[in-house]
Chains A and B, each alone.
Chain A
Amino acid sequence: SQTIHQWPATLVQPVGSPLSLECTVEGTSNPNLYWYRQAAGRGLQLLFYSVGIGQISSEVPQNLSASRPQDRQFILSSKKLLLSDSGFYLCAWSAGINEKLFFGSGTQLSVL
């Protein structure tokens, strides 16, 4: 069966520090991969999605970036965090566009 792993679960970072969140999927090949952010009490905002290695689509202009160095690995990065980057970050995968999403357990990021 397919599983998705995301880490770390919580992260506290100072403003201006770098960020790297990692997500891996097991049990499937060539998944579509996604990064979402959820601000407190708000809905999910799609940040990036990828349909294949090295293929990244950005949904929202910001100081975050994403990379997909391997088929089942998706990384969210920032060179310098802002206070507004705080939130709950969720990685997800699907078997195809418009198919149901399966989420990782999320990373609660607090930028102070």
Chain B
Amino acid sequence: RKEVEQDPGPFNVPEGATVAFNCTYSNSASQSFFWYRQDCRKEPKLLMSVYSSGNEDGRFTAQLNRASQYISLLIRDSKLSDSATYLCVAMDSSYKLIFGSGTRLLVRP
């Protein structure tokens, strides 16, 4: 089992739609979780940290479910500019951050 797993997608949604991604992690002791956004041939950029209580930043909401060992990212009112690959990050058993392979989102007009 991979340490961090994501559905590769692509998720193809119309503008204005709400879309959600899940990401599962294997290390139940992980204390650090993040979502990154990566555009084609660019570096990943931090989208948001994921806290136990969940957090929201504008149209983006991240949540952590420790019991089921997954984190989620919800994007409301999708924009064309949201098209990108979204990378989930969790901590492995050696206390290093491990990236998922990413979920690709395509927002169409």
Those of B7-66 within 8 Å (CB) of chain A: 31-32, 34, 41-46, 49
Segment at the B interface, from A11-19, A60-68, A76-84, A98-106: A98-106
B46 near A98 with CB under 8 A, answer no
B34 near A100 with CB under 8 A, answer yes
> Contact check: which of A43, A49, A99, A108 meets B101 at CB < 8 Å?
A43
**A16–chain B nearest beta-carbon distance, Å:** 26
Those of A23-43 within 8 Å (CB) of chain B: 36, 42-43
A102 near B46 with CB under 8 A, answer yes
Given A98-B32, A99-B32, A104–B46 Cβ distance below 8 Å?
Answer: no
Given A42-B101, A43-B100, A98-B31, A103–B45 Cβ distance below 8 Å?
Answer: yes
In the complex, B97 has a CB within 8 A of chain A? yes
> Contact check: which of A59, A103, A108 meets B44 at CB < 8 Å?
A103
Contacts of A104 in B (CB 8 A): 43
B49 near A105 with CB under 8 A, answer no
Given A44-B87, A100-B46, A108–B96 Cβ distance below 8 Å?
Answer: no
**B19–chain A nearest beta-carbon distance, Å:** 20
B42 near A43 with CB under 8 A, answer no
Given A44-B99, A46-B96, A101–B46 Cβ distance below 8 Å?
Answer: yes
CA distance A99 to B41 in the complex (A): 24
Contacts of A97 in B (CB 8 A): 95-96
Contacts of B101 in A (CB 8 A): 42-43
A105 near B31 with CB under 8 A, answer no
**A55–chain B nearest beta-carbon distance, Å:** 15
Those of A71-102 within 8 Å (CB) of chain B: 88, 90, 97-102
Given A99-B32, A101-B97, A103-B43, A43–B87 Cβ distance below 8 Å?
Answer: yes
CA distance A100 to B97 in the complex (A): 9
In the complex, residue of chain A having the shortest beta-carbon distance to the beta carbon of B96? A46
In the complex, residue of chain B having the shortest beta-carbon distance to the beta carbon of A10? B41
**B positions within 8 Å CB-CB of A:** 31-32, 34, 41-46, 49, 87, 89, 91, 95-102
